[in-house]
Amino acid sequence: MSVIATAAVPLSAMTPRRVLGAYLEEARSECLRYLRAPAFMLPVILFPTMFYLLFGIVMNNHAGYDAARYLLASYGVFGVMSPGLFGFGVSLAAERDNGLLTLKRALPMPPGAYLLGKMLMAMLAAAVVITLLLLMALVLAHLSLTLPQASQLLLTGMLGVLPFCAMGMAVGVLVKGQGAPGVLNLIYLPMSFLSGLWIPLPMLPALLQHMAPIWPSAHLQQLALSALGIGHTAPWAHVLVLGSYGTAFFLFAVRRLRRAG
């Protein structure tokens, strides 16, 4: 009864203060929901940090200046992709299946509050991953980083998660809740390998090197490398590609969501 009564209040009648409060409350509840879900947060945090510890620090203890930064940037991008893809894709698919998305649509809150909450959650998770990797790089790998470099890498990760949010959203509107994790893993893991996050591109076959610019993760990696002072390309070109990917997937997902729910 309370939901029906609340839904009777038209959104247009809400004051700007109440609209802003709706955005903030939805973002807060979304972040708290995932922070209290260890089944989601632990893999997001542990996978990139464990991989970086094993392959970036233990097995490359005597890596040179550029190699150490390359590995930090690569595993940073690997960690950032996960909350965007899975945080959006799996949760959206599940919420479509269990009817929660339909319930949220009936509530008198701004339509963008639902998406904004998930975006902020993904950005927060990306910030946690990048911060942990930076601490490991400074303390365990004894990597010399300036405050501007660390700050720029953190900002790159937090903003770089957004195109993968859009990609996860596109998957979430196409598949059922049970199938979403499998489909996303088929995207996440091969894309990480083919864009040079696990093995540097010069060590991959020439065909795969030429195909690397297809993947958005390769462009985010170049921005991460530039943040650490070893990028050799214009960053705005990569920003444009990532923005195009994000916009295309987002518009597709919104259109599909409006038609099929």
For residue 127, how far is the Cα from the chain centroid?
10
Angle at 255 between CA 185 and CA 103, to 5 degrees: 80
For residue 201, how far is the Cα from the chain centroid?
22
Pick the more confident residue, 160 or 92: 160
Cα separation, 32 vs 3, whole angstroms: 22
pLDDT digits (tens, 9 = 90+) for 20-64: 777 777 777 777 777 777 777 788 888 899 989 888 888 776 666
Cα separation, 201 vs 212, whole angstroms: 8
pLDDT of residue 1: 35
DSSP symbols for 97-117: HHTHHHHHHHSSS-HHHHHHH
Cα separation, 83 vs 77, whole angstroms: 11
DSSP state at residue 215: S
Cα separation, 1 vs 155, whole angstroms: 44
DSSP state at residue 14: S
What predicted TM-score, i.e. pTM, was given to this entire model?
Answer: 0.86
Please determine, for residue 7, whether its predicted confidence score (pLDDT) is greater than 70: no
Please determine, for residue 260, whether its predicted confidence score (pLDDT) is greater than 70: no
